[in-house]
Structure formats: C-alpha cells, structure tokens
Amino acid sequence: MKRRSRYAAVSLTAALILSACSSGPSSSSGPSSSSGPSSSSSLSGQTINLSLSHHAWTTSLQTFIGDFTTETGIKVDVNVYDDAQQATLYNVKLNAGSSDIDVLMFRPLQNTQQFTQNGWFADLTKYVNASTDWNWNDFWQSARDSVTVNNKIIGVPLVSETGVLYYRKDLLAETGMPYPKTMDDLKAVVAKIHELHPDIFAFAGRGEVSAAVTQFSSFLYSMGGNWTDGKGNSTINSDAAKAAYKLYGGLIHDYGPPGETDMNWPQVMGLLQQGLVAFYPEASSNYDSAVDPTQSKVADQIGVGPIPAGPAGSKPYNITAMALGISAFSKHKDAAWAFIKWATNQANSLTIQEAGVPGARTSVWNDPKGTSTLAPDLLATIQGNSKIGVGYDRPQVVNVDQARQIVGAPIVAAIQGGDSNAVADQANSDFQALLDGQAK
C-alpha cells in the first residue's frame, strides 16, 4: 500500500513536470492516477536538510510541508532557527564547507554579498532556466534583482516586506486628530496620546542597536538621508541623518517603554499586543502577530498606516526580506531545487500569502484570493509603499552585521537622551573605515 502511494506520488511529480502550464492544481490535491516513467524518480528517497528561519512564512509552510514528501518521495529534515543562531550556524557550517545544509533560508539584504563573496551559494541559474513552467518572470523585478549577483541567480524570493506604522485606532480616535501625514503630525499626535494616557507608551520601536537599523531606515530616507552617497562615502552624519536619528530615537526616548535599548521586535510586539503601545513602526510582515486574538488584548484595535512624510516625503523601505537558496556544498542540489520550486510555485505561494505572508509573485498579487485575506489598511499601505519604497533597509556592504552595529549606535544614543550628533560623527568615521576596508 505504502509503496503504491509513493509510486503514485512520483508519477504526480512527473505529471507536474511534464505539464506545460502548471498554474492549476493545488499542492494539497490528492494523488494523481496518471502513470508513466519519471525523470525525478532518482530523487525519491533522498533526504534534504532545510535550514529555515523563525518566520511567519516558515510557520505557514510547515502546515502543509508533508505534501512535498508525498508528491516527490523526497524526505525533508526541517530545522528552524532564530536569527542569531542561524547566522552563527551558517558561519560555522558553510565556512567548513559542510554538506549538512541543502536548502538555506536567508535574508538577501543581509547575506547576499557576503555569501556570494565566500562562494557559499549554489548557482541556480540553470535550474531556473530549466523550469519555465514555474515562471521566474512572475516574481517582481526588484525581488529578482535582490537575488541576482553578476547575472547569476542565487536564491528565490519568498517574502516581501515594507516599513509601516502600527497604531491603536481607538487611541488615535480619542485625540480627534487624523492619521499623521507628516513627521510633525506624528510628533503632535504622539504627544497628545501621552498627555491623555501617561501610562501608555505613545511611541515604541526597536531599540536594540542592530535590530533598530531596519525600521529606522524608513525614517532616515524620509528625512532625506541615506547610509552612503552611492560612491563609497558614508553619509550617516549628514544633517538629514542626524535629524532622523534625533527623531526616531527621540520619540522612543520621550514616549517609549523602559529598557528600549534592549528591545527587538518580539519584545515591542508583546507590549503592543497587550495594549501598552500607541504607535510602532515595524515591518509589514509582522502584521499577523499584531492582530493575533489568542495573544493580543487589542487585536481589533490595531491599524496600519504609511510612514509619515519627512522633508523628502514618505520613503519607507520596501524589500525582499527572505529567500531560499541552495548551499554550494549540498550533495542533493537537484532534490533541493525540487523543494524550492515546489515551495515557491504559484499555488503554494498563494496558499502562504493567503495565510497572511505577502510574497513577491505578480500573479498572486493579481489574484483576488491573494489579497482577500490582507486587511484593507495593510493592503493599501503595502501597495502604496511598493510605488515609493526604497529597495534596502540596511547598509549595502559585505559585512552587514558590523555595519549595523556601527550605524545603529546613534539610535541608541538618541534613545538614551545622549548627544546623538556626536555619536553620529564618530559612527560616520567608523562606517567610512569599514567601507574603505571593503573597497580595498
């Protein structure tokens, strides 16, 4: 019995591969009755090792990942890590050229340069080219660019993410003010909420030095600043950047919870869920936990809006947050590709997006089902940001970790009410040294 179902599954894969246009069948449909020789039968029985990140995408995928094994006979070994652990493991395992990882989930803006330089990615170009039915061109151009290095494709985009502002609708309504259009409006409305509810943190945000950088980036761009001038010169002590540091860090200093400089998004989100936070800039992809009624007391009061405009307008980041790649040292590259292709095919991308994790496939976004489960205000903000967004949320260097520590220092100084301008000057020279070291 078992053997037969596996045979059927293999046949199904074959059928899927052979079919010219595979936009139709959902992954969770039952075994097909078609039969015939299979080109992927050699993959059946192999086990691939997945290194995935703690992310809503992973959670959603895990609800139906068993289907993949049923369909292909390829077994998967799923490992889920938090960011810090995963970064360490990649460093150690890929450095040692270990074949322990086949499929690796990564953050393009964080890892691409370094991993490429180190030769840790397998080149996926030939796989992508051979999978015409899977339709690479369906992914957004910007998303494809973020995983293409020197014309080589090194990953497949999974999650798109943009900077938004979470807020408490009821508290905003109480102030009688409209949703803040500009940074000055934001300051005013936050001050008003603080006045009405001193026990509520009117503005909270990530404050941990490295974690804060990405959410701060929307403020930096909107204030007219940037990390570099695009020619290898650090610009994080420009007047605009200094104003941005003062603004973001200052709001947290004045209205944020105690212990801010230790907070990453799980901590701030926890406070938001308990109704303790009024305004909170965070990634769109965390929407689900913000409105999770099992975790949150104020789930029905959480709204989402665009980042208010600064002197440069509203310029949130709008990025490809997550991607799947294959380790250069994998011994099961074909099976690994079969998995990536399956996980990112149109049907499964739709399933995951329906579960609330925005992806990067045009067809899914065009499909009414793909947007039906997104809250209207979230959808409007995401669509708005896609037109005005900046394609990176952190400095574009080889060693992003180090850069984040450097450019995040003025945020921390501002949160603590210190002289963020002086720290920005120091950080600027540190960052310049890092850029110069990299250029060598």
Partner 1 sequence: MTRRARAATLRASRRRGMRPSRAYNVFRVIALASVVVVFIFPLVWLVLASLKTQIDIYDPSKTFIFSPTLHNFKTVFGAQAFLPFFRNSLIVGVVSTALSLVFAVPAAYAMSRFSMTKSSIMVLLARVIPSISLIVPWYFLFAKIGMVGGYGAMIISHMFLSVPLMVWILISFFDTLPIELEEAAQVDGLTPIGAFVRVSLPLSIPGIATAGILAFIFSWNNFLFSLILSGSNTKTLPVAIFNFIGYASIDWGGLMAASVSITVPIIAIAMFFQRYVVSGLTAGATKG
Partner 2 sequence: MSSPVIAWRAAISLWVNRNRKWILSGPAIAFIVLLLVIPLGYTLYLSFTDAGSSLRASFHFTGLGNYTNVLTDTRRFWPAVYRTVLFTVGAVSVEMLLGAAIALLLRREFRGQGIVRVIILMPLVATPVAVAMLWRLIFEPTIGFANEFLRFFGLPGSEWLSSPSTALPTLMFIDVWQWTPMVALLLLAGLTTVPEEPEEAARVDGANVFQRFWFVTLPLMRSVVFAALILRSVEAFKTFDILYATKGAGGGSMHEAETINIYAYGINFSDNRYGLASAVLVVFFIMVLVLVTLQIVARRRGQ
Stretch that binds partner 1, among 12-20, 185-193, 290-298, 426-434 (CB under 8 A): 290-298
From the number of C-beta atoms within 10 Å of its C-beta (0-12, 13-18, 19+), residue 197 rates as middle
In the structure encoding, which two tokens stand for residue 347, read together?
Answer: 């049907």
- Nearest approach, Cβ of 75 to partner 1 (angstroms)? 11
Cα separation, 359 vs 140, in Å, equals 10
What is the pattern of x (binds partner 2, CB under 8 A) and - over residues 250-279?
-------xxxxxxx-------x----x---
399 binds partner 2 (CB under 8 A): yes
- 25 sits in the region (left: phi over 0; alpha: psi -120 to 50; else beta) called beta
420 binds partner 2 (CB under 8 A): no
- Nearest approach, Cβ of 378 to partner 2 (angstroms)? 26
In the structure encoding, which two tokens stand for residue 131, read together?
Answer: 């999978």
- Residue carrying structure tokens 């289907």: 67
18 binds partner 1 (CB under 8 A): no
In the structure encoding, which two tokens stand for residue 306, read together?
Answer: 């665009």
Q: Residue 138 or residue 208: which is nearer to partner 1 going by CB?
A: 208
From the number of C-beta atoms within 10 Å of its C-beta (0-12, 13-18, 19+), residue 39 rates as exposed
What is the pattern of x (binds partner 2, CB under 8 A) and - over residues 172-211?
-----------------------------------xxxx-
What is the pattern of x (binds partner 2, CB under 8 A) and - over residues 204-223?
---xxxx-------------
- Alpha-carbon distance values, 11 to 27, 43, 44, 336 (Å): 14, 13, 11, 19
Q: Residue 59 or residue 228: which is nearer to partner 1 going by CB?
A: 59
Cα separation, 377 vs 295, in Å, equals 21
Total residues in contact with partner 1, by rule CB under 8 A: 38
- Alpha-carbon distance values, 121 to 108, 246, 261, 281 (Å): 12, 39, 34, 33
238 binds partner 1 (CB under 8 A): no
DSSP 254-305: HHSPTTGGG--HHHHHHHHHTT-EEEEEEEGGGHHHHT-TTT-SSGGGEEEE
What is the pattern of x (binds partner 1, CB under 8 A) and - over residues 48-67?
-x----xxx--x--------
79 binds partner 1 (CB under 8 A): yes
Nearest C-alpha neighbor of 186 from the set 282, 280, 318, 312: 280
DSSP one-letter code for 53: E
Stretch that binds partner 1, among 94-102, 126-134, 169-177, 392-400 (CB under 8 A): 94-102
From the number of C-beta atoms within 10 Å of its C-beta (0-12, 13-18, 19+), residue 375 rates as middle
Q: Residue 98 or residue 141: which is nearer to partner 1 going by CB?
A: 98
Total residues in contact with partner 2, by rule CB under 8 A: 35
What is the pattern of x (binds partner 1, CB under 8 A) and - over residues 268-287?
-xx-xxx-x---------x-
Residue 117 site contact among partner 1, partner 2, none (CB < 5 to 8 Å, cut-off depends on kind): partner 2
Residues that bind partner 2 (CB under 8 A): 84, 87-88, 91-92, 95-97, 114, 117-120, 207-210, 257-263, 271, 276, 398-399, 401-402, 405, 408-409, 412, 416
